[in-house]
Amino acid sequence: MKSTNNKFSVAPMLDWTDKHCRYFHRILTKQTLLYTEMVTTGAILFGKGNYLDFNVDEHPIALQLGGSDPNALAQCAKLAQNHGYNEVNLNVGCPSDRVQNGMFGACLMGNADLVAKCIESMQEQIDIPVTVKTRIGIDDLDSYAFLCQFIETVLPYTNTFIVHARKAWLSGLSPKENREVPPLDYERVYQLKRDYPNLTIAINGGVKTIDEIKHHLNYVDGVMVGREAYQNPMLLAQIDSQIFGLDTQPIDPIAAIRCLYPYIEQQLLQGAQLNHIMRHTLGIFNGQKGAKQWRRYLSENAYKKGAGIEVVEHALNFIQ
């Protein structure tokens, strides 16, 4: 079984980590593993859009799938490999009602045998790695013994688990509350790595700084960062040197925006709207003078018909 480098990754985030976001993040970091938004098997197999579309410059890239039908997942995994993805990830962590109604996401933690069958079916069809993103528990099934039982049932078919260090409440909490209310338990994920040293264990949840990433890497194999990487994207500009040890300097944020220009021009010619691209860049100047004006000008002008690079250049004038 091949493996991807899960030392640092940006989490799959619904409505956020689309292809425009990933292209922008790749400008900031060359080594980070990038994930798609979660895509359901139904959307891929029966939807009208091209849900597997990505730019070749996004590599390394992983597709996160939502589903619980082994055959449908296997079909989608094969399509993902044919499209050039580096990894396929099964979502066993999302707690939203919509996901539960489709019998996938965090509710699958309660059916480890089905998860194992899903992973096995995908592995039979592809050569790229299949990984699992999960929680430490669901509802009252939140003991360490339950987590270990889940891992042991699934591990014959995968060696990589990305573990959000919170349990999920399947009822009573919104997806946003499920990201914030259940307490973080990093030690439980560390213990998982100690007890299963041959597995690749990455940790997710509440990580915001380079120092925190480095601390976690003393205990686990990888760190996945979500909202902080999106809202404060210049964090990603430090990853190649600080986490992967490359002799590189972080890109200047203005230079990073201008590196987007050829991509913007290409996408606009294909019918994209400027605001759909630039919304992912709004936080790049956080803490700098003029950042608020940058965000405001883009928000008020990038959506207008015919808006192009001249709008971005004008917005950059506010940055000092």
Q: Has residue 101 got a pLDDT over 90?
A: no
The C-alpha atoms of residue 49 and residue 158 are separated, in whole angstroms, by: 30
Q: Has residue 1 got a pLDDT over 50?
A: no
CATH classification of the domain holding 113: 3.20.20.70
In-domain check, residue 246: no
**45 lies in the same domain as 88:** yes
**Structural domain for 265, as ranges:** 253-316
pLDDT of residue 96: 64
**59 lies in the same domain as 181:** yes
pTM: 0.94
Active site residues: 94
pLDDT of residue 2: 53
Mean pLDDT of 166-176: 77
Percent of the chain with pLDDT over 70: 95
**274 lies in the same domain as 179:** no
pLDDT of residue 48: 87
- Label residue 139 by pLDDT band (50, 70, 90): confident
**85 lies in the same domain as 165:** yes
Q: Has residue 102 got a pLDDT over 80?
A: no
Q: Has residue 181 got a pLDDT over 90?
A: no
**263 lies in the same domain as 115:** no
**14 lies in the same domain as 160:** yes
Of 196, 215, 240, which closes a domain? 240
- Label residue 100 by pLDDT band (50, 70, 90): low
Q: What is the pLDDT of residues 218-247, one digit of tens each?
A: 999 999 999 999 999 999 999 999 999 999
In-domain check, residue 259: yes
CATH classification of the domain holding 283: 1.20.120.1460
Q: Where are the alpha helices (DSSP H) in 62-108?
A: 70-83, 97-101
Q: Give the residue from 254, 205, 274 showing the smallest Cα distance to 20.
A: 274
**212 lies in the same domain as 75:** yes
How does the average pLDDT of the chain come out, rounded? 94
**167 lies in the same domain as 281:** no
**236 lies in the same domain as 112:** yes
**198 lies in the same domain as 297:** no
* Residue 157: C-alpha distances to residues 113, 183, 290 (Å): 11, 30, 51
- Label residue 173 by pLDDT band (50, 70, 90): low
Q: Which residues contact 1 (CB under 8 A, 6 or more apart)?
A: 123, 129, 158, 159
Percent of the chain with pLDDT over 90: 86
Of 184, 209, 240, which closes a domain? 240
In-domain check, residue 211: yes
In-domain check, residue 16: yes
Indicate the number of domains in the chain.
2
Q: What is the pLDDT of residues 234-287, one digit of tens each?
A: 999 999 999 999 999 999 999 999 999 999 999 999 999 999 999 999 999 999
